[in-house]
Amino acid sequence: MPARPISAGMISFGLVSIPVRLFNAATPKSVSFHLLHDKDKSRIQQRIYCPVDDKIIERSELVRGFEIEKGRYVTFTDEELKALEAQGDHAIEITEFIPLAEVDPVYFENGYYLGCEPGSAKAYRLLADAMAQAGRVALATYTLRGKEHLVLIRPYAKGLMMHSMYYADEIRPVEEIDRGLNVEAKPAELDLAKRLIADLTQKKFDPTKYHDHYRERVMEAAQRKLEGQEVTEAPVEERKGKVIDLMAALKASLEKRGIAPQEAAPQARKAAADKAAKAHARAARPVERKRAGAKK
* 3-state secondary structure (DSSP) of residue 97: strand
Q: Strand locations in 145-261, DSSP E? A: 147-156, 159-165
Phi, psi of 40 (to 5 degrees): -125, 5
Interstrand relation of 108-116 and 16-24 (parallel, antiparallel or unpaired): antiparallel
CA distance 147 to 129: 30
110-139: pLDDT as tens digits: 999 999 998 999 999 999 999 999 999 999
Listed residue (30, 208, 31, 27) closest to 112, CA to CA: 27
Specify whether the backbone of 242 is left (phi greater than 0), alpha (psi in -120 to 50) or beta.
Answer: beta
Can you tell me the mean pLDDT for 91-99?
Answer: 94
The per-residue pLDDT for 2 is: 74
Q: H-helix or E-strand containing 251?
A: helix 246-256
Listed residue (246, 278, 280) closest to 264, CA to CA: 246
Buried b (16+ CB within 10 A) or exposed e, 223-238: eeeeeeeeeeeeeeee
Domain spanning 7-28+85-170, CATH class:
mainly beta
The per-residue pLDDT for 293 is: 53
Listed residue (130, 149, 129, 147) closest to 139, CA to CA: 149
217-238: pLDDT as tens digits: 888 888 888 888 766 665 665 6
The per-residue pLDDT for 264 is: 43
Q: Say how many CA atoms lie within 13 Å of 124 toward its Cβ.
A: 20
pLDDT score of 15 more than 90: no
Q: How many angstroms separate the first and last alpha carbons of the chain? A: 103
CA distance 21 to 62: 35
Q: H-helix or E-strand containing 76?
A: strand 72-76
235-284: pLDDT as tens digits: 665 655 554 577 787 788 788 877 776 644 454 455 555 666 666 666 55
The domain ranges of the chain are 7-28+85-170, 48-75, 184-198+245-279
| Sign of the alpha-carbon dihedral angle for 90, 98, 160, 108 | negative
* 3-state secondary structure (DSSP) of residue 203: coil
- Report CA 247 to chain centroid distance, whole Å: 29
CA distance 168 to 99: 18
149-201: pLDDT as tens digits: 999 999 999 999 999 999 999 999 999 999 899 999 899 999 999 999 999 99
